[in-house]
Amino acid sequence: MAKPLTTNPQHAAFLAIIQGIPEGWVMSYGMIARAAGLPRHSRHVGVALKHLPEGVKVPWWRVVNGEGRISARGFDGSDERQRLLLEEEGVVFSDTGKIDLKRFGWMG
DNA sequence: TCCTTGACGAGAT
DNA sequence: CATCTCGCCAAGG
């Protein structure tokens, strides 16, 4: 299932790191790419999640961009759902809708 | 093989 | 803070 990309060893690394993010913490795409040993592949973290099948247990909602913002992906309210999930875990959004990565950014 | 696209990021204006 | 530009790298047309 989940016929993913052909360059897939990276995806496994990305997903493994994301699975290691504790509840109430977040990581940016760039941080995940760095932690995987691929510093310039931040975009591909998003690609991996985009191809993520439903059955897989990965806390995708704990992944935000470098500004601490939720990256819009055009799907029906999925970004709003992500914010709710994070707030349930205790993650605080500022007035401008940003997360303070100094506080909630998880350094694997 | 060339060109465009993209759940990104950093720096300049 | 809002925009713009540029760098990055794989996928798909």
Domain ranges of chain A: 9-103
Q: Given this model, what pLDDT does residue A5 score?
A: 45
Q: In strand C, which positions have an atom below 7 A from any protein CB?
A: 1, 7-12
pLDDT per residue as tens digits for the range A71-96: 988 777 788 999 999 999 999 999 99
Nucleotide nearest to A98 (CA to C1'): C1
Domain A9-103 has CATH 1.10.10.10: yes
**Positions of chain A with pLDDT under 70:** 1-7
Residue A74 beta carbon within 7 A of nucleic strand C: no
Which residues in chain A belong to E strands, given as ranges?
A: 27-28, 63-64
| Confidence (pLDDT) at A3 | 38
- CA A65/CA A63 separation, integer angstroms: 7
pTM: 0.91
Rounded distance, CA A52 to CA A47, Å? 9
Q: How many Å apart are A66 CA and B9 C1'?
A: 7
